[in-house]
Structure 1
Amino acid sequence: MLRNYSVRTDLALEEKERFESDDVEIQGVVLNERYDEEREMRLTRVEIRTENGAKAMGKPVGLYLTLETPNLALPDEENRREVAEELCRCIRELIGRHRKEEKDGLSVLVAGLGNREVTPDALGPYVADHLAVNRHVVKEYGKYAMNMEHAPVISAVVPGVMGQTGMESAEIIRGIVRETNPDLVIAVDALAARNSRRLNRTIQIADTGIHPGSGVGNHRCGMTEESLGVPVIGIGVPTVVDAATIVNDTMENFIRALESSESFKGVGEVLRSYNAGEKYEFVKELIAPHLNGMFVTPKDVDEMIRQISHTISEAINMLVTQA
Structure 2
Amino acid sequence: MDSKFLNKMGITLDLALEAREIIRGETGQEIPGVRMDRESYDNANVTIVHIEDEAAQTIMGKPVGTYVTVEAPVIKQNNQQAHKEVTEILAEQLKKMIDLPMESNVLIVGLGNWNATPDALGPRVVDKCLVTRHLFNYAPQELQGGMRPVSALAPGVLGLTGIETAEIIRGVVEKTRPALIIAIDSLAARSVERISTTIQLADTGINPGSGIGNKRAGINQETMGVRVIAIGVPTVTLAAVIAQDAIEKYIQSTGGQLGDASLAIKKVLEPFGGNLTVTPKEIDTLIEDTAQIIAGSINMAMHPGISPQDYAYYLH
Alignment TM-score, normalising by the size of structure 1:
0.87
Alpha-carbon spacing, 1:299–1:242, altered in 2? closer, same or farther (3 Å): same
1:52 CA drift (Å) = 0.9
1:73 CA drift (Å) = 3.3
Task: For residue 57 of structure 2, give the secondary structure of its aligned residue in structure 1.
Answer: helix
Which residue is 2:290 aligned to?
A: 308
Structure 1 window deviating more from structure 2 (290-299 vs 158-167): it is: 290-299
Q: Is there any run of 5+ residues in structure 2 with no aligned partner, and where?
A: 306-316
Listed as ranges, the matches of 1:40-59 within 5 Å are 41-59=44-62
Q: 2:180 aligns with which of 181, 184, 187?
A: 184
Distance in 2 between the 1:241 and 1:201 partners?
Answer: 13
- The alignment of Structure 1 onto Structure 2 pairs a total of residues equal to 299
Distance in 1 between the 2:270 and 2:26 partners?
Answer: 28
1:283 CA drift (Å) = 5.8
Distance in 2 between the 1:252 and 1:88 partners?
Answer: 38
Structure 1 window deviating more from structure 2 (219-228 vs 133-142): it is: 133-142
2:9 and 2:266 in contact (8 A); partners too: no
Which residue is 2:208 aligned to?
A: 212
Amino acid at match of 1:245: V
1:252 CA drift (Å) = 3.2
Please tell me whether residue 299 in structure 1 is matched to residue 281 in structure 2: yes
RMSD: 2.0
Q: Deviations over 1:142-192 (max 9, x none)?
A: 3x76233x4321110110001111111111111111111111000000001
Structure 1 window deviating more from structure 2 (288-297 vs 126-135): it is: 288-297
Distance in 2 between the 1:11 and 1:306 partners?
Answer: 21
Which residue is 2:308 aligned to?
A: none
Which residue is 2:139 aligned to?
A: 141
Q: 2:232 aligns with which of 226, 236, 249?
A: 236
Amino acid at match of 2:37: N
Q: 1:105 aligns with which of 98, 103, 115?
A: 103
1:285 CA drift (Å) = 4.2
Q: 2:66 aligns with which of 63, 66, 85?
A: 63
Distance in 2 between the 1:81 and 1:249 partners?
Answer: 34
Distance in 2 between the 1:48 and 1:158 partners?
Answer: 30
Which residue is 2:121 aligned to?
A: 123
Alpha-carbon spacing, 1:114–1:21, altered in 2? closer, same or farther (3 Å): same
Task: For residue 158 of structure 1, give the secondary structure of its aligned residue in structure 2.
Answer: strand
Distance in 1 between the 2:191 and 2:209 partners?
Answer: 18
Q: 1:80 aligns with which of 80, 83, 87?
A: 83
Q: 2:38 aligns with which of 33, 36, 61?
A: 33
Distance in 1 between the 2:244 and 2:70 partners?
Answer: 24
Task: For residue 192 of structure 1, give the secondary structure of its aligned residue in structure 2.
Answer: strand
2:188 and 2:236 in contact (8 A); partners too: yes
1:73 and 1:305 in contact (8 A); partners too: no
1:241 CA drift (Å) = 0.8
Task: For residue 285 of structure 2, give the secondary structure of its aligned residue in structure 1.
Answer: helix
1:250 CA drift (Å) = 1.6
Q: Deviations over 1:50-95 (max 9, x none)?
A: 0111111111100000111111133322111111111111111111
Structure 1 window deviating more from structure 2 (51-60 vs 7-16): it is: 7-16
Q: 2:270 aligns with which of 274, 286, 289?
A: 289
Task: For residue 295 of structure 2, give the secondary structure of its aligned residue in structure 1.
Answer: helix
Distance in 1 between the 2:169 and 2:15 partners?
Answer: 23
Amino acid at match of 1:223: I
Q: 1:10 aligns with which of 1, 9, 14?
A: 14
Distance in 2 between the 1:92 and 1:68 partners?
Answer: 18
1:42 CA drift (Å) = 1.2
Amino acid at match of 2:103: G
Task: For residue 227 of structure 1, give the secondary structure of its aligned residue in structure 2.
Answer: helix
Paired-residue identity, %: 39
1:32 and 1:44 in contact (8 A); partners too: yes
